[in-house]
């Protein structure tokens, strides 16, 4: 695929459309959160506060998943201590970033996902891809990264698009080989995450969504005829993880115990590394 002005314009339009889908999903999640908070706060004002919901607010607030209005009302109702609210005030204030901030952070990732495929096609590689399926594959990673970074969740629709893209993007890999490789990778990754959790007494380190996206990545890399792609991915993945750990551990004294308590989203690191790898696969 030649890099003509029309191709570049199409790629930019696809990137912007993908970002729009990701932003619309974020808006939908916020609306769901606000509706649930309104229902729970109404029950709390009636003296029927849900202890489990209040506890979930305590867990989610340090990650910026609780609005300032909800936190303030819980303090007024005496269900959350003022000291706790003050300690998480910075995170709570960042509950809902504006569209401009989301655009600045994530549009470059969507552009990179498209550029990796277009640039690869321009150099006429020996192993061709199905361009549309490959674009769906890389842009799905960008959307998963957007959702996981904010909500620590891998949305099922994006995961389905990712799997569909993987099945059709790589003509050299049969669906059976991809399925077997993904299944084996998922089992090994799930076992490794459980071993880590039992060793360091930390639950919820790696969710099923994390396992599935990594399994899809490993399956496509294991089936690739290009021998260097696994090494490329691992280098990019480790570098991305290091950047994320540095970001999420700001202001912390990062001991071994503190490191195991970090809840760093895996989606962004996996997405960036996978997008980088697609340029050479």
Q: Is the pLDDT of residue 2 over 70?
A: no
Asked if 280 contacts 229 with a C-beta cutoff of 8 angstroms, the reply is yes
Tokens in use for 151? 């909500």
Please return the burial class of 207, using the count of CB atoms within 10 Å of its CB with bins 0-12, 13-18 and 19+: middle
Every domain of the chain and the residues it spans: 108-278
Q: What is the 3-state secondary structure (H, E, C) of the chain?
A: CCCCHHHHHHHHHHHHHHHHHHHHHHHHHHHHHHHHHHHHHHHHHCCCCCHHHHHHHHHHHHHCCCCHHHHHHHHHCCCCCHHHHHHCHHHHHCCCCCHHHHHHHHHHHHHHHHHHHHHHHHCCCCCCCCHHHHHHHHHHHHHHHHHHHHHCCCCHHHHHHHHHHHHHHCCCCCHHHHHHHHHHHHHHHHHHHHHHHHHHCCCCCCCHHHHHHHHHHHHHHHCCCCCCHHHHHHHHHHHHHHHHHHHHCCCCCCCHHHHHHCCCCHHHHHHHHHHHHHCCC
Cα separation, 29 vs 113, in Å, equals: 24
Q: What is the average pLDDT score of the chain? A: 84
- Distance separating alpha carbons of residues 245 and 169, to the nearest angstrom: 32
Q: What is the pLDDT of residue 280?
A: 75
What the block records as the tokens of 256 is 């071994």
Q: What per-residue confidence (pLDDT) applies to 4?
A: 75
How much is the average pLDDT of 70-93? 90
- Measure the CA dihedral 27/28/32/35, to 10°: 60
Report whether pLDDT(253) > 70. Answer: no
How far apart CA 115 and CA 136 sit, in angstroms, is 13
Q: What is the pLDDT of residue 245?
A: 79
Q: Is-contact 106 142, C-beta < 8 A?
A: yes
Residue 72 pLDDT exceeds 70: yes
Tokens of 131: 């361009």
* pLDDT surpasses 60 at 274: yes
Which of the residue ranges 50-54, 65-69, 115-119, 223-227 would you say has the lowest mean pLDDT?
223-227
Instruction: State residue 263's pLDDT score.
Output: 64
Tens digits of per-residue pLDDT, 145-177?
Answer: 999 888 888 899 999 999 999 888 888 778 888
Instruction: Please return the burial class of 279, using the count of CB atoms within 10 Å of its CB with bins 0-12, 13-18 and 19+.
Output: middle
pLDDT the model gives residue 24: 93
pLDDT tens per residue across span 19-40: 999 999 999 999 999 999 999 9
| Pair of tokens at residue 180 | 């077997």
The residue assigned the tokens 């819980």 is 74
Q: Give the residue-averaged pLDDT of 128-136.
A: 85
What whole-number distance in Å separates Cα of residue 191 and Cα of residue 188? Answer: 5
Query: Is 247's pLDDT higher than 90?
Result: no
Q: What is the pLDDT of residue 81?
A: 92
Tokens of 192: 């490794």
pTM for the predicted model, two decimal places: 0.85
What local confidence, expressed as pLDDT, does residue 192 receive?
81
CA–CA gap between residue 106 and residue 176 (Å, rounded) = 34
Q: What is the pLDDT of residue 74?
A: 93
pLDDT of 252 strictly over 60: no
């Amino acid at each position: 695929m030649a890099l003509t002005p029309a191709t570049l314009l199409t790629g930019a339009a696809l990137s912007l459309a993908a970002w729009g889908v990701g932003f619309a999903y974020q808006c939908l999640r916020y609306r769901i959160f606000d509706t649930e908070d309104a229902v729970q706060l109404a029950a709390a004002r009636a003296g029927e506060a849900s202890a489990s919901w209040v506890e979930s607010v305590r867990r989610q607030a340090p990650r910026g998943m609780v609005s300032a209005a909800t936190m303030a009302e819980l303090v007024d109702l005496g269900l959350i201590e003022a000291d706790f609210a003050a300690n998480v005030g910075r995170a709570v204030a960042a509950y809902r970033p504006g569209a401009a901030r989301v655009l600045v952070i994530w549009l470059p990732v969507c552009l990179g996902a498209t550029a990796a495929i277009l640039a690869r096609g321009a150099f006429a590689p020996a192993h061709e891809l199905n361009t549309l399926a490959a674009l769906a594959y890389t842009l799905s990673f960008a959307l998963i990264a957007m959702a996981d970074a904010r909500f620590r969740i891998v949305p099922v629709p994006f995961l389905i698009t990712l799997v569909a893209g993987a099945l059709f993007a790589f003509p050299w890999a049969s669906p059976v080989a991809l399925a077997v490789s993904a299944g084996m990778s998922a089992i090994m990754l799930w076992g490794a995450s459980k071993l880590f959790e039992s060793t360091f007494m930390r639950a919820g380190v790696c969710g099923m969504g994390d396992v599935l996206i990594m399994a899809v990545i490993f399956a496509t890399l294991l089936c690739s005829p290009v021998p260097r792609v696994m090494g490329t991915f691992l280098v990019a993945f480790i570098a991305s993880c290091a950047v994320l750990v540095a970001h999420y551990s700001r202001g912390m004294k990062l001991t071994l115990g503190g490191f195991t308590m970090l809840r760093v989203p895996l989606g962004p690191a996996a997405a960036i590394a996978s997008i980088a790898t697609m340029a050479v696969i």
